[in-house]
Copies of this chain bind each other. A is one copy, B any other.
Amino acid sequence: MSKACTLAIDAMGGDHGPDVTIPAALSALRKHPELDLILVGDQAILERGITAARANHETRLRVHPASEVVTMDDPPAQALRYKKDSSMRVAIDLVKSGQAHACVSAGNTGALMATARYVLKTLPGIDRPAICTTIPCIGGRFRMLDLGANVDCDAEHLFQFAVMGSVLVEASGDSDRPRVGLLNLGEEAIKGNDQVKHAAQLLQDSDLHYVGYVEGDRMFRNVADLVVCDGFVGNVALKSSEGVAAMISRFLREEFHRNLLTRLAGLVALPVLKALRSRLDHRRYNGASLLGLRGVVVKSHGSADAFAFEQAIETGLLEAHEDIPGRIDNRLGEVFAQEPSS
């Protein structure tokens, strides 16, 4: 990865704003000599933060002013209409104008999706962008989409998600021929709602590597590289998974703190528990992709710390380097050429 690449960072977004985005940006710059970053937001605050980090000499980092901030509570439509000089909007504008190859934001998901869709537009053949993230599983990791951008999806939408997600998996180097599964409540053909059954047919007739229905538990056993579902189901599946992981981690801590003996056992087991924690660390998987747009937009978790936000920058860098929107566009062209009926 030596091609020069510029990313626009919504430096004010997320729960912590510049306290997180500046250190993450500086760390990413140290690791990637080919990377240039534009921090978008309140110029005085950002320059002060950069000076405090003793990074004013950093030539690959510059500040681009934006006077407003989209809050986590702003309704998407209002953010879009009334905050045209927000750090989020300006960062996306920089992608649109070609000054940046990608935008990374920890801001309000709905506003980011609405603004990105309005400014960048969707690719030809894509009705709705989708949010895709990476999830660890036994023996590897998989990607899942959609995670909440689209609460109701028909079969065509699910099929488009499968095409877009496959391109992302291929580009990330995880698989040359990604195994695509449809999330369902059973693995038999008769299971599921009409949308899912029809999507299964579309996938079966396509040249994607469709591996069938996948149940919620089996996706953690490495049966698919890409799990496709509507945004309601995907959001619930992802968040339920996070909830259970947090609960188990809490129970583990409680059990090791029960009495003096268990505390001693905890001390002895500490390196092992740390290894486990690192393996499950969701910060490593931070950075969800907004797929289907004419530009790269990566959404970081709002509560991300600097380590986590840096992973989102890494995701943006990879997608810009690999030109994911261009590759999805090409792939869609092939798909539609093969299936003139759709």
Contacts and interface: CB of A to CB of B under 8 A. Distances in A.
Interface of A: 75, 136-138, 148, 151-152, 183-186, 190, 192-193, 215-221, 229, 231-233, 235-248, 250-252, 255-256, 258, 261-262, 264-266, 268-269, 271-273, 275-276, 279-280
Contacts of A271: 261-262, 265
A327 B138 CA distance: 44
Given A217-B243, A217-B246, A220-B247, A183 B236 contact: yes
A338 B69 CA distance: 47
User: A-B pairs with the 3 shortest C-beta distances?
Assistant: A216-B239, A217-B243, A220-B243
Contacts of A248: 245, 248, 276, 280
B239 A217 contact: yes
A152 B219 contact: no
A219 B243 contact: yes
A317 to B, nearest CB: 28
Interface centre among A229, A240, A248 (most CB of B within 10 A): A240
B241 A256 contact: no
Nearest to A273: B255
What number of copies of this chain does the assembly contain?
A: 2
Given A243-B217, A247-B137, A247-B220, A266 B276 contact: no
A254 to B, nearest CB: 9
Given A266-B272, A272-B255, A216 B193 contact: no
A93 B192 CA distance: 29
A240 B265 CA distance: 31
Contacts of A251: 138, 276, 279-280
21 contacts: A138-B250, A151-B193, A215-B235, A215-B236, A216-B236, A217-B240, A217-B242, A220-B243, A237-B240, A241-B243, A248-B276, A248-B280, A252-B276, A255-B272, A255-B275, A258-B272, A258-B275, A264-B268, A266-B269, A266-B272, A268-B268
Nearest to A241: B244
Contacts of A184: 232
A226 B115 CA distance: 36
B269 A240 contact: no
Contact of A232 (B185, B262, B275): B185
A218 B243 contact: yes
A193 B279 contact: no
A184 B268 CA distance: 41
A257 to B, nearest CB: 10
Nearest to A218: B243
A203 to B, nearest CB: 18
B269 A235 contact: no
A256 to B, nearest CB: 6
Given A233-B233, A251-B280, 12 more contacts: A75-B190, A136-B247, A138-B247, A215-B235, A216-B242, A218-B239, A218-B243, A220-B246, A233-B236, A248-B248, A255-B273, A262-B271
A231 B265 CA distance: 42
B237 A237 contact: yes
A230 B275 CA distance: 38
